[in-house]
Amino acid sequence: MNVSLFITCLGDIFYPNVGKSVVEVLERLGCEVDFPYSQTCCGQPAYNSGYHGETREAARRMINTFENSSYVVGPSGSCVAMFSEYEELFHNEPEMQRKARSLKERSYEFTQFLVDVLNVTNVGASFNATATYHKSCHMTRLLGVNDAPEALLSEVDGLSYRKLPNCENCCGFGGTFSVKMEAISKEMVDEKINNIQSTGADLLIGADSGCLMNIGGRINRLQKPVKVMHIAEVLTQREVK
Amino acid sequence: MPMRIGADPFKDRVEKGLNDAFMRNSVRSAQERLYGKRLDAAEELGSWEDWRNLGEEIRSHTLENLDYYLYELSEKMEENGGHVYFAKTAEDANHYIQEVVKRKNGKKIIKSKSMVTEEISMNEALESLGCEVIESDLGEYILQIDDHDPPSHIVVPALHKNKSQIRDVFKEKLGYLNTDKPEELTLFAREKLREEFLSADIGITGCNFAVAESGTITLVTNEGNARLATTLPQTQITVMGMERIVPTWEELDVMISLLSRSAVGQKLTTYVTALTGPKATLEGDGPEEFHLVIVDNGRSNMIGTKFQEALHCIRCAACINVCPVYRHVGGHGYGSIYPGPIGAVISPLLGGYEEYGELPFASTLCAACTDACPVKIPLHELLNKHRKKMIEGKGLTAEKIAMRGFQYGTTLPILYQVGTKLAPFLSLPFQTNGFLTKGPGPLKAWTTIRDMPAPNNERFRDWFQKRQKEDLGE
Amino acid sequence: MSEQILNRESFLSSLAQKLGRSTPKTVEIPKWKHQPQWEVLKNTSQDELVTVFKKQCETIHTDVIETEKEQLADVIKERIEAYNGNSISTWNDKRFDQYGIFSKTEAMIHAWDPRMKDNVNVAEQADIGITFCDLALAESGTVVLFSNEEQGRSVSLLPTTYIALVPKSLIVPRMSQAARIIHHRNKAGEFPATCVNFISGPSNSADIEMNLVVGVHGPIKTTYIIISDL
């Protein structure tokens, strides 16, 4: 199966290890992974700030980049969900709308692809940790990916999983919200961190780089003893017990 | 009380909210309780998504034919012997209500809970005539006694107050002598308000839904105050936002089922009271005279625009009860009697961007609101549409220039290449242990509260390219 | 336009303009794509509806007693005594005499009388209000009351305790069936009442710290008596 990796800009610049892990897991499961180099950013930062015109050109680029891919897989639900907004951006260009719809139909968030397309929940990972999982809002609500991450984590050997209280609440990232409304954002992320710590977990797992950058950045600032990892990084672990 | 609450700028209001530990605690526990109750109510009903779809269908059909249904409602209302006044503005509405009150020589007015009367500052208009206006919803009553403290939630208006604060207010203003037990406080208010109900000349209510086919208005309460306000006074005035209407009783059923479940997690609220005109001649109770005031006050500006769906709102507050921003800021932070996600959508539409322009940005667009809405208003999308509209209305700002830069950066690969390649070096001065702890521009706002991972020296694409070359080399 | 309706034309024509058309002469209500309301308690027997009704009453803090016509007078007497009722406000409903409902109690019975002026005060002073219901809803534990000159609104509202008599045959699955009945009666030109009340238990409020307090403006205690052979 041929898969085009949609790395996302955060993944490209800040979290290359996440991308490497995605490649490793996909290849282990027999996928052929390619990386179209002309990809940049999905346009979400501009779009969610109200700059829809500026987003359109980023969208056009992404649509063309992945035009010939049979599957597009990205390690961030929020960015993959952004593809769903493209169609509306091109309301004056029916051909682009068609292409946008096609891109949406071929695109999957990483865990969604594993569970729904490859029908795999056990990827043979083992990792000794007590972990909790942060449900990202866009991934669950906009993309509808609800159970895939937990299904995958439940099969990781050695991983003790703790449910996160109030997991439905946003971590306070929200793109430019995090810098425009930093006072509110801080309270949101602090509550999230308190909830994480209340589980006794020493590892926070997420599936969206934006959320992880926010929560991880705050954890680092507060020097809390909680490690932060992307789910792809967890799924490549082969710790011997 | 007008729609706008407090004169402080947005940042100060937010700060005040964030520093109010009691308020935040009570909002948190209310949210959690209501969240659970609403989910239980939805789950117990089974096909909740079908219910939401039906709710959406009914609301959009009704709004698409709003003029027709308002016409039908007024015809029926006239047939039933009621009066109908169509008020374009708050002033129109208040003027008419004042005229009715003067003609009836009304001195004491008892009200049941109504957001639209708050929005149009009706109480002030009546007080200026020398009338005494008494709120009878327990929460509203508490706020009124406490020198008109503004509401912070559209269903639970005194959510921000704790019981000892309430005891102190009752003690100071009304000579209350008992403890801060909610039961005792409530009993005290019951007795006080019963006297007021029995001696009031005029009852004023809001309207949850009017039923066009029969000229009926319905009131949904748990306390029974709307029943008292429409049973005892001789004159009844009902004020409704023009969109609060359903075609027939069959749609009324659906909307009330959705409202009760979404607002308080009940199958039905304790009372649903449906009033069709004034009392019949021989009836021993109920109003002799019935006036319905249908208020536009800016609502029609949404019709025919991308914001029309905001008029589908049935004021259940489900979006408020799940909003993570409301959770921390509280109702007063929004500076509007309509707080939370729906407030952030409609306050700017009713009161303008000048006053409420910050509200659409006070959201992470997490879409919890959209998910919770029983009539499927795409609230987070409407917030984004506000952002777009405001940005298009502005000239060239620093942010706009930055976003242009973003556009070039994402569309011209060479710029993206160079920009992302340089990032690690440019950020070098700010790095400690692989994290950025301070920096210029947006990085500054980011790093006031959290660290930023340093850009990696080897981007993913560099790694992938290298790997590909190695593979080819083998 | 009559004086009973003011400002209608300009108001509605501006709406029509914004909707991009003139006001239609008739509007057909579409057949809704989703109709989950008719699936709730579908094909449920009357006995099962009673079970659902009673179960829901636990949630809404309402006592339920099931009895037959024969025992009604005894049950009423017992309930009135349990509530320490001396003065009872009721509707002017011939069924009270027909079934001898008050034949055993010693409390003072005040029937609503449209010829008297002080009905409301009598109800306000009464300890207990007792009425039949016109319909009942199983799902929500609701009694539906139609008011008219013999059936005052105050009786179920002003006394501190309220007792509703629920003939078993009047229990329907949920509000949908009641709304449909009212809808059809309206269409037939027989709208049932100036005031229709759907009552589900005693009044309550959670306005103080979200703590549920039973008993605010309306009755503080409520009992439903299901009459199984009516």
pLDDT at B401: 77
User: Quick check: C107 pLDDT over 50?
Assistant: yes
Residues within 8 A of B (CB atoms), A 119-178 only: 137-138, 141-142, 166, 168-170, 172-178
- CA-based radius of gyration for chain B: 26
pLDDT at A189: 97
- CB pair distance less than 8 Å for A141 and B367: yes
CA distance A126 to chain B (A): 25
Pick the more confident residue, B407 or B229.
B229
* Structural domain spans, chain C: 46-227
pLDDT at C1: 46
Query: Is the C-alpha dihedral spanning C227, C228, C229, C230 positive or negative?
Result: positive
Q: Average pLDDT, stretch A127-138?
A: 96
* Tens digit of each residue's pLDDT (9 = 90 or more) over B36-52: 888 888 888 889 999 99
Given B249, B266, B301, the domain boundary residue is B301
Neighbouring chains of C at 3+ CB pairs under 8 Å are B
* Tens digit of each residue's pLDDT (9 = 90 or more) over C147-179: 999 999 999 999 999 999 999 999 999 999 999
Strand C161-167 and strand C128-132: the pairing is: parallel
Q: What is the mean pLDDT of chain B?
A: 92
Given B284, B301, B318, the domain boundary residue is B301
Assign A174 a pLDDT band (cuts: 50, 70, 90).
very high
Using a CB-CB cut-off of 8 Å, the residues of chain B touching C162 are: none
Residue A15: how many other CB atoms lie within 10 Å: 25
Assign B472 a pLDDT band (cuts: 50, 70, 90).
confident
User: Quick check: B335 pLDDT over 90?
Assistant: yes
One domain for residues B218 and B93 = yes
Task: Evaluate whether residue B337 is within a structural domain.
Answer: no
Q: Average pLDDT, stretch A200-213?
A: 96
- CB pair distance less than 8 Å for A184 and B328: yes
- Give yes or no for B2 touching C (CB within 8 A): no
pLDDT at B35: 85
* Tens digit of each residue's pLDDT (9 = 90 or more) over B120-175: 999 999 999 999 999 999 999 999 999 999 999 989 999 999 999 999 999 999 99
Strand C221-227 and strand C213-214: the pairing is: unpaired
Find the helix or strand (DSSP H, E) in which C190 lies. Answer: none
| Lowest pLDDT segment from A197-206, B89-98, B425-434 | B425-434
Residue of B198, B222, B297 for testing the chain C interface, max C β-carbons within 10 Å: B222
**3-state DSSP assignment of residue A1:** coil
User: Quick check: B302 pLDDT over 90?
Assistant: yes
Residue C97: how many other CB atoms lie within 10 Å: 11
Residues within 8 A of B (CB atoms), C 49-88 only: 56, 60
Residues in chain A: 241
- CATH code of the domain covering residue B297: 3.40.50.10420
Q: C26-63: string of b/e by CB count within 10 Å (b at 16+)?
A: ebeeeebebbbbeebbeebeeeebbebbbebbeebbbe
Q: What tokens does B252 get?
A: 């009324």
Q: Specify the CATH number of the domain C46-227.
A: 3.40.50.10420
* Tens digit of each residue's pLDDT (9 = 90 or more) over B42-89: 888 889 999 999 999 999 999 999 999 999 999 999 999 999 999 999
* Tens digit of each residue's pLDDT (9 = 90 or more) over B175-209: 999 999 999 999 999 999 999 999 999 999 999 99
Distances from the Cα of A57 to the Cαs of A76, A88, A108, in angstroms? 21, 13, 22
- Give yes or no for C2 touching B (CB within 8 A): yes
Beta carbons of A228 and A210 less than 8 angstroms apart = no
Residue of C nearest to B157 (CA): C207
What is the Cβ-side half-sphere exposure of residue A159, based on CA atoms within 13 angstroms? 27
User: Quick check: B461 pLDDT over 60?
Assistant: yes
- CB pair distance less than 8 Å for C36 and B51: yes
Using a CB-CB cut-off of 8 Å, the residues of chain A touching B361 are: 177, 180-181
CA distance A57 to chain B (A): 6
Task: Evaluate whether residue B460 is within a structural domain.
Answer: yes
Domain that holds residue B78: 45-301
C-alpha span between A27 and A124 (Å, rounded): 13
Candidates B45, B257, B270; nearest CB to C201:
B270
- CB pair distance less than 8 Å for B224 and C216: yes
pLDDT at B456: 85
* Tens digit of each residue's pLDDT (9 = 90 or more) over A57-107: 999 999 999 999 999 999 999 999 999 999 999 989 999 999 999 999 999
Residue of B249, B255, B376 for testing the chain C interface, max C β-carbons within 10 Å: B249
Using a CB-CB cut-off of 8 Å, the residues of chain B touching A60 are: 411
CA distance B405 to chain A (A): 9
Q: Specify the CATH number of the domain A121-235.
A: 3.40.50
* Structural domain spans, chain A: 2-116, 121-235
Residues 6+ apart with CB under 8 A from B206: B112, B113, B114, B115, B116, B117, B219, B238, B239, B240
pLDDT at A241: 55
- CB pair distance less than 8 Å for B399 and A12: no
Q: What is the mean pLDDT of chain C?
A: 95
Q: In chain A, pLDDT over 90 holds for what percent of residues?
A: 91
Domain count across chain B: 2
Using a CB-CB cut-off of 8 Å, the residues of chain A touching B11 are: 183
Task: Evaluate whether residue B423 is within a structural domain.
Answer: yes
HEC profile of chain B: CECECCCCCHHHHHHHHHCCHHHHHHHHHHHHHHHHHHHHHHHHHCCHHHHHHHHHHHHHHHHHCHHHHHHHHHHHHHHCCCEEEEECCHHHHHHHHHHHHHHCCCCEEEECCCHHHHHECHHHHHHCCCCEEEECCHHHHHHHHCCCCCCCCCCCCCCCCCHHHHHHHHHHHHCCCCCCCHHHHHHHHHHHHHHHHHHCCEEEECCCEEECCCCEEEEEECCCHHHHHHHCCCEEEEEEECCCEECCHHHHHHHHHHHHHHHHCCCCCCEEEEECCCCCCCCCCCCCEEEEEEECCCHHHHCCCCCHHHHHCCCCCHHHHHCHHHHHHCHHHHCECCCHHHHHHHHHHHHCHHHHCCHHHCCCCCCHHHHHCCCCCCHHHHHHHHHHHHHHHCCCCHHHHHHHHHHHHHHCHHHHHHHHHHHHHHCHHHEECCEECCCCCHHHHHHHHCCEECCCCCCHHHHHHHHHHHHHHC
Q: What is the mean pLDDT of chain A?
A: 95
Assign C210 a pLDDT band (cuts: 50, 70, 90).
confident
CA distance A224 to chain B (A): 12
- CB pair distance less than 8 Å for B271 and C200: yes
Q: Average pLDDT, stretch A96-121?
A: 97
User: Quick check: B306 pLDDT over 50?
Assistant: yes
Candidates C8, C10, C36; nearest CB to B50:
C36
User: Quick check: B413 pLDDT over 90?
Assistant: no
Using a CB-CB cut-off of 8 Å, the residues of chain B touching A181 are: 14, 325, 361-362
- CB pair distance less than 8 Å for B197 and C217: yes
Residue of B197, B270, B291, B294 for testing the chain C interface, max C β-carbons within 10 Å: B270
One domain for residues B162 and B287 = yes
C-alpha span between A169 and B471 (Å, rounded): 44
User: Quick check: B249 pLDDT over 60?
Assistant: yes
Q: What amino acid is encoded at B370 in this protein?
A: T
Candidates A40, A57, A184; nearest CB to B413:
A40
pLDDT at B470: 85
User: Quick check: B404 pLDDT over 90?
Assistant: no
pLDDT at B38: 85
pTM of the model: 0.94
One domain for residues B283 and B402 = no
Q: In chain C, pLDDT over 90 holds for what percent of residues?
A: 91
